Amino acid sequence: MSSNSKKNRFLTIAYLSPTAIILLVFMIIPIIYTLYLSFFDWNLIAPTKDFVGLKNYTSIFTDPVNRKVLLNTVFYILLLLVLNFLIPYFISIIVKFFISKMQTSYKIIFFIPSLFSLVVGAMLFSWIMNPVSGPVAFFVRYLGVALPNWTNSGAMAIVMLCLITNWKVFGYNFVLLLTGLGSVPQNIIDATKMDNIPKWRMVWDIVLPLNKSIAFYVLILTIVQGLQYVFTPISVITQGGPYYGSSNILYHTYLNAFVLYKTGNASALAVITFLIFLVLLYLEIRFVEGRTDRYE
């Protein structure tokens, strides 16, 4: 038994060690080194680093550019919560309980854009919405209206970039929410029909509370999309302009690190973003997976 135990322990370590080494080299060590760099002023080239303490962290909340980027990030998240959470949730409820036919067709139609790259979507939308030569510009010009140059306005650029992201992830969120609604026990739905309870009351008082876990998961996923997914259309179309008006915290981190060579400031932004993701992960474990465990 002792020999078998040692053999099993050796095999366990042998099987886990490749994954552990990859995590250590490509995740844990970079995270620790990023935290270390966040306390220094360095440009990736100079042989020495100047220790600045918490200056890089305080500049995130005191520097006007950083504050503007943080506000942009909040704007992205709020707008995408409407586009990628509230609207698909509303449509999934309509499809599930008020249409109830061709649900598979709706899933396929909405999910198709999720199969395409965001780079493709960004390039396609930038051509369609080109204020000079795009198809939409020609159409509105025919109606006697000029399409504004949305790339010169930070607010309009954020709205357009959110629409591009929405085109990509709307179907995925819709399928998740519709699947969650389908997990509501059918006997409860049948009981409400026998009692002649209005559908809107059934949805509000029964379906939404029972579907809370999936809804909260999609809510967290939408916040992550507001932080992460918009990086691609920002990089392809606006590069954070005009005057950082369409940048968000992830793109600003990349800009500071690999374009402006402000490694310390970029590392501090990365640490803040990492902490945000940790909070979101905790909330998912606490309110989604923990709730699922209780149901089991």
Which pair of tokens denotes residue 229? Answer: 């997914």
Q: Same domain for 15 and 92?
A: no
**What CATH number is given to the structural domain containing 102?**
1.10.3720.10
183 and 254 belong to one structural domain = yes
Whether 79 has a pLDDT exceeding 70, the answer reads yes
Indicate left, alpha or beta for 84 from its phi (over 0: left) and psi (-120 to 50: alpha).
Answer: alpha
User: Domain check: are 16 and 69 in the same one?
Assistant: no
Measure the CA–CA gap between 177 and 289, rounded to whole angstroms.
16
Tell the residue number behind the tokens 């474990």, with chain if given.
285
204 Rama class: left (phi>0) / alpha (psi -120 to 50) / beta:
alpha
Assess whether 47 and 194 both reside in one domain: yes
**Do 9 and 64 belong together in one domain?**
no
Q: At what angle do helices 103-111 and 154-182 cross, to 10 degrees?
A: 150
pLDDT, mean over the chain: 88
Q: Give yes or no: residues 57 and 8 share one domain.
A: no
Q: Which residues pair with 287 in a beta bridge?
A: none
Smallest CA-to-CA distance from 164 within 204, 201, 120 is with: 120
Give 196's pLDDT tier (boundaries 50, 70, 90).
confident
Q: What is the pLDDT of residues 48-71, one digit of tens each?
A: 899 999 999 999 999 999 999 999
Residue 223 φ then ψ, to 5°: -65, -40
- 224 and 90 share one domain: yes
User: Is 70 exceeded by the pLDDT of residue 289?
Assistant: no
Task: Give the sign of the dihedral formed by CA 129, CA 131, CA 132, CA 138.
Answer: positive
Q: Are residues 285 and 182 part of one domain?
A: yes
Please give the residue that has the higher pLDDT: either 79 or 104. Answer: 79
Segments forming the whole domain that contains residue 12: 1-30
| pLDDT at 286 > cutoff 70 | yes
Quote the pLDDT of residue 13.
Answer: 87
Average pLDDT of 263-282? 92
Within this chain, do residues 214 and 109 fall inside the same structural domain, yes or no? yes
Average pLDDT over residues 233-251: 92
Q: What is the pLDDT of residues 87-105, one digit of tens each?
A: 999 999 998 888 867 778 8
Residue, of 285 and 128, whose pLDDT is higher: 128
Pair 16, 142 in one domain: no
pLDDT band at 294 (very low <50, low <70, confident <90, very high): very low
pLDDT tens digit sequence for 17-30: 999 999 999 999 99
176 and 283 belong to one structural domain: yes
- Report the alpha-carbon angle 32-37-42, nearest 5: 160
Res. 296: pLDDT tops 50: no
Total domains, the chain = 2
Are 168 and 287 members of one domain? yes
Q: Report H helices in 82-211.
A: 87-93, 103-111, 118-128, 135-142, 154-182, 186-194, 199-202, 208-210
